[in-house]
């Protein structure tokens, strides 16, 4: 490793948890065995968020819910695992994207695939986009109850849309059939393709019900239906 690379590898990130022995539950790699690095902190406050321990100071002690770890330490944990896919989620991982660059690079150089889950409010830095990581870009809808100006950033959507197709997909958590019209408007306005929609929910029953509700509307629009497979398998279990 060169001296600048060694320095970069020492950059530290706020981490909520690392876990493996699971599958990527969302998006194009659904079903793939995956190791997860969940970063702490988020800039949004979605009502239905299933990881409030990464951001909600009113309910959680974030100092107790997170630790600082270097990019090198996190890469070494993931490279000690057999899973080929490493998913970096949060929280909002792009809040810490400077330190994500060396992490993504180390993983990809070692032959891993990296997917970054993002809420589409921060544009990807050129170095991160060039690292070979793929982005599962998930803009939030009105059902999140986050004010529109905070959750929809047109220039960010356009920056992701400008990346080569295999590097990013757009993914929407939908709380009901009516929200597909809102997805349509965003998709048309910012030319977002390919699109995955998946039902909101933290129980297998709710996901199954949501899938049935969305199936026809998604197919008509040419959207892919995503299950949130980990919820079908393990419900709301943490670390899955």
Ligand X SMILES: Nc1nc2[nH]cc(C(=O)O)c2c(=O)[nH]1
- Known binding-site positions for S-adenosyl-L-methionine: 48-50, 91, 138-140
Give burial (CB, 10 Å; 0-12/13-18/19+) of 122.
Answer: middle
**Number of residues this chain uses to bind ligand SF4 (CB under 6 A):** 13
Contact between 35 and 85 (Cβ < 8 Å): yes
**Nearer of residues 9 and 88 to ligand SF4, judged by Cβ:** 88
3-state class (DSSP) for residue 23: strand
**Nearer of residues 117 and 179 to ligand X, judged by Cβ:** 117
**Nearer of residues 108 and 122 to ligand SF4, judged by Cβ:** 122
Of ligand SF4, ligand X, none, which one sits near residue 99, judging by CB under 5 to 8 A according to partner kind? none
Cβ count within 10 A of residue 75: 22
Tokens read off for 18 = 């690392």
Q: Strand 33-39's sheet: what is its strand order? A: 67-70, 12-23, 33-39, 85-89, 113-118, 134-137, 168-174, 195-199, 224-225
**Nearer of residues 15 and 42 to ligand SF4, judged by Cβ:** 42
Those residues with Cβ within 8 angstroms of residue 153's Cβ, 6 or more apart along the chain or in another chain: 120, 121
Which residue in the set 24, 74, 78, 90 belongs to the binding site for ligand SF4 (CB under 6 A)? 90
Tokens read off for 13 = 């990130």
- Our finding on whether 91 is near ligand SF4 (CB under 6 A) is yes
Angle between helices 179-190 and 204-221 (to 10 degrees): 50
Annotated binding-site ranges for [4Fe-4S] cluster:
42, 46, 49
Among 89-97, 181-189, 197-205, 216-224, which window interacts with ligand SF4 (CB under 6 A)? Answer: 89-97
CB of 119 to ligand SF4, least distance (A): 4
CB of 113 to ligand X, least distance (A): 14
The pairing of beta strand 134-137 with beta strand 224-225? unpaired
**Nearer of residues 48 and 184 to ligand X, judged by Cβ:** 48
- Our finding on whether 46 is near ligand SF4 (CB under 6 A) is yes
Residues that bind ligand SF4 in the complex, under the rule CB under 6 A = 42, 44-46, 49, 51, 54-55, 90-92, 119, 140
């Amino acid at each position: 490793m060169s001296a600048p690379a060694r320095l970069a590898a020492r950059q530290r990130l706020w981490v909520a948890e690392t876990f493996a022995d699971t599958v990527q539950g969302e998006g194009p790699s659904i079903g793939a065995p995956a190791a997860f690095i969940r970063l702490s902190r988020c800039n949004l406050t979605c009502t239905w968020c299933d990881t409030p321990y990464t951001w909600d100071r009113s309910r959680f002690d974030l100092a107790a819910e997170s630790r600082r770890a270097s990019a090198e330490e996190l890469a070494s944990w993931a490279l000690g695992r057999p899973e080929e896919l490493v998913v970096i989620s949060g929280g909002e991982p792009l809040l810490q994207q400077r330190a994500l660059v060396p992490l993504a690079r180390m993983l990809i150089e070692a032959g891993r695939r990296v997917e970054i889950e993002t809420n589409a409010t921060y544009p990807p830095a050129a170095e991160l986009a060039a690292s070979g990581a793929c982005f599962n870009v998930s803009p939030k809808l009105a059902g999140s109850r986050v004010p529109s100006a905070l959750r929809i950033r047109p220039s960010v959507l356009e920056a992701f849309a400008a990346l080569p197709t295999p590097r990013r997909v757009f993914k929407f958590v939908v709380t009901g059939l009516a929200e597909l019209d809102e997805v349509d408007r965003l998709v048309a306005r910012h030319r977002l393709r390919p699109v995955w929609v998946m039902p909101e929910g933290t129980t297998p029953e709710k996901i199954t019900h949501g899938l049935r509700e969305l199936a026809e509307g998604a197919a008509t629009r040419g959207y892919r239906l995503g299950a949130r497979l980990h919820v079908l398998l393990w419900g709301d279990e943490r670390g899955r």
